[in-house]
Amino acid sequence: MTDFVLVPGLCHGGWCFEHLTRRLRDRGHAVHPLTLTGVSERRHLLHGTVNLDTHIQDVIAVLENEDLRDTVLVGHSYGGMVITGVADRAPDRVDSLVYLDAMVPSDGDSCWSLVSDQERRWYADVDETGCASRPLPFFDPRATPHPIASVLQPLRLTGTLEHVRRRDYVYAAGWADQSPFTPTYRRLSDDPGWTTHALAGGHNLMRDTPDELARILLDVTASR
């Protein structure tokens, strides 16, 4: 049995992994789909100081309170920022990292710095609180505003991620227009330290290709 911790992207909660969660649990694994502070059913905790560090600590708290070790962390989109920080700060609890059409940051990068002007215009469209980016109109009805401080804060890393046994990048090849993650996918495809995959789904691979994605995650844990 493997412990999978699933971290959503902007404006989404743990519910976005419902199809993937079911498939992994059916195979006997423990799955922890998380909702980050200030978002979705935790939106009542939104305030101006909820940032990337808050979200990294959200995940570390689950690892510590559940005493999870040899964990596979899965991050979608913005969630790539979070799982990278967790692997750096709790190295003894993380076995592998899986990035789902996600940011792959280095020290000093922020979500804001890694995206195009198109995404920055979205982030800058804050709600009436002044501290959260609005969900886009086509998002799931359950999506809620996302703390903008978490998007703006640079990630600080204390070292490399060489201690992580395996790093996978799953690229969504089915974007309706040009994917902002294509350069990341191409770069990592040439890096022997990474295993890359391309699935014929849109950005929300958990919804579009849950069977294929589950097979990738099962391979990650089977390769131990």
Q: So what's the pLDDT on residue 222?
A: 94
133 is catalytic: no
pTM (whole model) above 0.75: yes
Position 101 scores a pLDDT of 98
Q: Which fold has domain 3-222?
A: Rossmann fold (3.40.50)
Residue spans of beta strands (DSSP E) within 67-215: 71-76, 94-100, 132-133, 146-147, 166-172, 195-199
Closest Cα partner for 108 from 128, 122, 88? 88
Q: Which of 40, 77, 133, 150 is catalytic?
A: 77
Looking at the DSSP bridge assignments, the partners of residue 97 are: 73, 167
Radius of gyration of the chain (CA): 16
Specify burial of residue 57 (Cβ count, 10 A radius: 0-12, 13-18, 19+).
Answer: middle
pLDDT on residue 178: 85
The residues, any chain, with a CB within 8 Å of residue 13's CB and separated by 6 or more, are: 35, 39, 40, 41, 42, 142, 144
Give the whole-angstrom CA distance, residue 109 versus residue 101.
17
pLDDT (tens digit, 9 = 90+) per residue, 87-102? Answer: 999 999 999 999 999 9
Span 116-158, pLDDT tens digits: 999 999 999 999 999 999 999 999 999 999 999 999 999 999 9
CA distance 107 to 43: 28
Question: How many Cα atoms occupy the beta-carbon half-sphere of 77 within 13 Å?
Answer: 19
Does position 160 have pLDDT exceeding 90, yes or no? Answer: no
Tokens for 104, please give them: 């792959």
pLDDT at 224 over 90: no
Per-residue pLDDT of 49-62, as tens digits, reads: 999 999 999 999 99
CA distance 88 to 104: 13
Going from N- to C-terminal start, the domains of the chain cover 3-222
Mean pLDDT of 71-82: 98
Handedness of CA 136, 142, 144, 150 (dihedral sign): negative
